[in-house]
Structures are given as structure tokens and as C-alpha cells.
Amino acid sequence: MSHFKIRCSNCGKELGEVYCAFCEHCKDALLVTEYKERNFRTDNGKGIWRFNWLPVHTPFFEQSGTVVYRSAGLADRMGLDDLFIAFNGFWPEKGAQLQTCTFKEFEAAVVLQNAKENGVSGLIVASAGNTARAFAHLSVVSGFPIVIVVPTMCLMEMWYLESSLAIPTLAVGDGDYADSIDVAKRIASVVGFPFEGGVKNIAKRDGLGAVLLESVAAMGKLPDHYFQAVGSGTGAVGVWETAERFVKDGRYGARPPALHLVQNLPFAPMLRAWEKGSRALFPDDLRPELIGQITTRVLSTRYPAYSVKGGVYDALKATGGRMYGVENREVYRAMELFAETEGIDIVPASGVAVAGLQTAVAQGIIKKKETVLLNITGGGEKRLGKEKRTYDVEPRMVSKKITEKEIEELLCETLKKNY
Ligand SMILES: [Zn+2]
């Protein structure tokens, strides 16, 4: 008996236990997990697996979680009484053990475990930056085969842990993210692994929601406000869905936190659409030259989970949320402020979230006594670099015109060798 069901958020049909990257049920609508237990529990095991609201049954590897603590330094500087930090990264003195330094580890862990339990033998991951690093690491930890496809333009911000360097990674040199997805789909048909599914994969969103599971377990309540930097927005959607489960539980608050989502200007397609009250994104806000101007390439996806039913637009509406845009110089200043007041380095994407919080406080949107949760999506890279060498990724360069025969030659040997 499974402890969860999967339901289509559009037509309400129950799908039973399925691997969700396959089942785009109704077009432009997300499937949602329904956990049979209405009450939140934390006695299921170790790390993130101790939570009952994850779509996995018998995890066979360990995965540590977010470290949540009440801020003193940053809270004082910002004039907030009840600021909590959800720190995702490497900070051993605080108990933070994510060597990839990103909350994408939860996504990768839950997706791979869920796929394995659904009889899937491997996955194609079309992603870059943090997500690629997290999936590569979890593939090593779990022994679950994956192939990663990235657009070459994202390579300069990528690094893998040394132990992940053998994970098959292809870079599409003559194309953008859309071409990478196209190549990934062809690889999927050749090697027989499905696509990980992006925002449509319930395991991905519920895995990212583990940040809120960990936070409520530590805080004993839902926060009033939640701050996060967004690229695709998948993590924010996962947090909203998780928050709605806490509201149904009833013991942690009557309302989901207001989502405060931050983008790095000038590439801020969700902010621009939200400002105009639009569910649709505007092509003019997705111009590639805007991406070249932001400091956080990891937040540069041109296909965010904004318009889809149950996505970012709906999450903002449902929670009374807001969107913010911050300039590069504000991001760098926020990174310095965080290091100075909290004592650990953070990545630019986290600087975006901190700068967004500063904006909200300056505008009087957040009241001094309200409870705020700040998701530091990545930190401790410098800290890790001091103790351990990290490596740049050296992918196999391929063309977007790669043929099936070439894919076969390239990958079948590599996959045999690695798994
Ligand atoms: Zn449906």
C-alpha cells in the first residue's frame, strides 16, 4: 500500500502510483501528490527521509537536509525579530553537510529514489549548474544511472564534485537550452531512459519542498513570509504545495506563507509578467542578451514554471505573494552582508534572495514582528574550496545535429563502464 496518491490538478483524476515524468495528463496542468496522512511526521528514518510527505517508500541511501536556525546577525541588521534561515550548503560547524552546496540535492535524491521505485532504469537530465551537479552527485551516491545534457553557454558556472566527474555529461555546443532538450529527447529514445520531466515531475517538487518540511520541523510553525531566488520557480511551487499540506494538518498555522520570489535584473521574465498581472510571459522579456547581463546564470531559464496551472503564477495568487527584481550590485552587496553578519559565504543566487528581503524590509512590506523564512539556496562553496578541491566539468562536446548512431557510440560504452 502506498502512502500517497497522484491526482491531476486540472481534471481531478486519480492516477495511482506512477512515475510522473511520463504522465502529462491534462495539457498545461500539474499532477499533485496527495499523502494519505494528514498529519506531518518526522519519525520515518534519517535525514530528509524522516519526513512522511515525500513520494518514496524505501530509500536505500542517506540524504542530509537543510539546516534551519534563527538569525541573530542579519536579523539585527535588518531590524527583524523573527528571521529564520534555511541554509542549504556546506557549513560543518552548523551541521550543514551538502557538499554540492545546493538545495537541488533534495530534488535529485527524491527524483532518483522515486524513479527507481517505479521501475525506471535510468534518467536523462537536461539541466545546468546546480541541478546538474546535484544529480551527478546523487547518481554516484545511489548508483542510479543518469545522462546529463547541458547547453555550452552554462558551462562556465558549472562544477562537479571530484567523485562525480565520470557521470556522462554532454554539452550541446551549437545551440541553446531548447536544443539541449531536443538532444536529450533523442538520447532518451536511444538509451531507453526517460526524461526527468522538469516541473511536471511530482518527486522534483516534493523534494524541493523538503526545505519547508525541515523548516517547520525546526520552527514549529509556518512562517508568515518566505523568500527565495527563482529561476524556473519549481522550488517555490514545491514549497507552496508543501505549505498547503501543513495548512490541512492544522497544527502549524492557518495560512501558507506569502511567497516573495526574487529575480536578478535585467533578466526577470516572471517579475515583468507578474507586474502586468499576466499569466503569460512576454517574449521580449526572454531575450537571450538579457541573460548575458545577470550575475546568476543558474537563474537564467527561459522556460520557467510560471504559466502552467498550479505553477508560480497560481502560487503567488494563492499566497498573496510578490515578485522582486534586484541589480547585480545589490546581489554582491547582499552576499557580503550575509557573510559579514552570519559568518558563511553564499552563492550569487542566495545573494539575490537576501537582496530581495532587503527590498521588502525597506518598502515596509515585512513587519518587524512577523516570522520570515529566508531560503539560502546555496552556500559554503568557498568554505568547501578551502578544505577540498572542486573540479570544473569536462563534458563531451556534441552538436545539436548529433545522430542516433553517434549517440549510441558515445553513450553505450560510457554507461556500461559506469554502472
Ligand atoms: Zn487531467
- The CATH number covering residue 178 comes to 3.40.50
**10 CA distance to ligand 1 middle (Å):** 5
User: Does 20 reside within a domain?
Assistant: no
**355 CA distance to ligand 1 middle (Å):** 39
Residues 241 and 369 grouped into a single domain: yes
Bridge partners (DSSP) listed for residue 375 = 86
Residues 364 and 313 grouped into a single domain: yes
Helices (H), 68-209: 73-78, 104-117, 129-142, 177-191, 202-208
**5 CA distance to ligand 1 middle (Å):** 14
Out of 190-194, 371-375, 387-391, 399-403, pick the least confident. Answer: 387-391
User: If pLDDT is split at 50, 70 and 90, which confidence band does 286 have?
Assistant: confident
| pLDDT beyond 80 at 78 | yes
Residues 329 and 355 grouped into a single domain: yes
Which domain, by its residues, includes 353?
A: 67-99+203-385
User: Does 85 reside within a domain?
Assistant: yes
**197 CA distance to ligand 1 middle (Å):** 17
User: Does 48 reside within a domain?
Assistant: no
| pLDDT beyond 80 at 212 | yes
Measured distance between the N- and C-terminal CA atoms of the chain, rounded to whole angstroms: 30
| pLDDT beyond 80 at 279 | yes
Evaluate whether 94 touches 87 at the Cβ level (below 8 Å).
Answer: yes
Average pLDDT over residues 11-33: 74
pLDDT of residue 268: 94
User: Does 23 reside within a domain?
Assistant: no
Q: Chain-wide mean pLDDT for the chain?
A: 90
Q: Nearest-CA neighbor of 54 among 303, 245, 292, 270?
A: 245
User: Does 95 reside within a domain?
Assistant: yes
Question: What does the alpha-carbon distance between residue 400 and residue 171 come to, in Å, rounded to a whole number?
Answer: 9
**28 CA distance to ligand 1 middle (Å):** 9
Evaluate whether 232 touches 303 at the Cβ level (below 8 Å).
Answer: yes
Q: Which pLDDT tens digit goes with each residue over 322-370? A: 999 999 999 999 999 999 999 999 999 999 999 999 999 999 999 999 9
Q: Which pLDDT tens digit goes with each residue over 191-206? A: 888 888 778 889 999 9
Question: What does the alpha-carbon distance between residue 106 and residue 179 come to, in Å, rounded to a whole number?
Answer: 27
pTM (global) more than 0.75: yes
Residues 94 and 142 grouped into a single domain: no
Q: How far is CA 155 from CA 1, 128, 170, 274, 403, in A?
A: 43, 8, 11, 30, 23
User: Does 110 reside within a domain?
Assistant: no
**11 CA distance to ligand 1 middle (Å):** 4
Residues 253 and 340 grouped into a single domain: yes
User: If pLDDT is split at 50, 70 and 90, which confidence band does 142 have?
Assistant: very high
Residues 234 and 185 grouped into a single domain: no
**29 CA distance to ligand 1 middle (Å):** 7
Residues 344 and 381 grouped into a single domain: yes
| pLDDT beyond 80 at 412 | no
CA 106 from centre of chain? 8
| pLDDT beyond 80 at 153 | no
Evaluate whether 355 touches 335 at the Cβ level (below 8 Å).
Answer: no
Residues 407 and 327 grouped into a single domain: no
Q: How far is CA 172 from CA 31, 184, 285, 289, 408, in A?
A: 30, 10, 24, 19, 16
**27 CA distance to ligand 1 middle (Å):** 8
pLDDT of residue 277: 97
Residues 84 and 209 grouped into a single domain: yes
User: Does 105 reside within a domain?
Assistant: no
CATH code of residue 279: 3.40.50.1100
**125 CA distance to ligand 1 middle (Å):** 25
User: If pLDDT is split at 50, 70 and 90, which confidence band does 390 have?
Assistant: low
Question: What does the alpha-carbon distance between residue 100 and residue 138 come to, in Å, rounded to a whole number?
Answer: 10
**201 CA distance to ligand 1 middle (Å):** 14
Average pLDDT over residues 383-402: 78
User: Does 84 reside within a domain?
Assistant: yes
Residues 145 and 285 grouped into a single domain: no
Average pLDDT over residues 119-141: 90
Residues 258 and 292 grouped into a single domain: yes
**8 CA distance to ligand 1 middle (Å):** 5
**148 CA distance to ligand 1 middle (Å):** 30
Residues 400 and 275 grouped into a single domain: no
Evaluate whether 40 touches 63 at the Cβ level (below 8 Å).
Answer: no
How many domains would you assign to the chain? 2
**303 CA distance to ligand 1 middle (Å):** 22
